[in-house]
């Protein structure tokens, strides 16, 4: 089943990927869910030390630009 969640693409060594797949399997998660868990844990640790990160919602104009940037493959996907 597909998802409509945003995608994060990262370049890393094959050894890192293989090891992360192993860790995900031990934790009974998909690689994607394992990485999501790590990201959420890292954000929580950062916010515990530095305060909550406020995420502003994009304006409709920014949403359109972000979509156009994604389609064109122009990072960082928004302003």
pTM: 0.66
| DSSP string for 44-61 | HHHHHHH-PPP-PPPPHH
Distance CA 13, CA 31 (A): 15
Q: Please give the structure tokens belonging to residue 37.
A: 């868990």
Matching residue, tokens 């949403």: 63
Max alpha carbon distance in the chain (Å)?
44
One digit per residue, the tens of pLDDT, for the chain of length 79 reads 567 788 888 999 999 999 999 999 999 999 999 999 999 999 999 999 999 888 777 788 888 888 888 888 776 654 4
Chain-centre distance for alpha carbon 43: 11
């Amino acid at each position: 089943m597909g998802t409509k969640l945003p995608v994060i693409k990262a370049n890393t060594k094959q050894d890192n990927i293989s090891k992360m797949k192993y860790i995900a399997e031990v934790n009974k998660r998909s690689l994607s869910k394992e990485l999501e868990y790590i990201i959420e844990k890292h954000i929580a640790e950062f916010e515990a030390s530095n305060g909550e990160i406020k995420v502003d919602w994009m304006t409709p104009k920014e949403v359109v630009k972000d979509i156009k940037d994604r389609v064109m493959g122009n990072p960082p996907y928004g302003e």
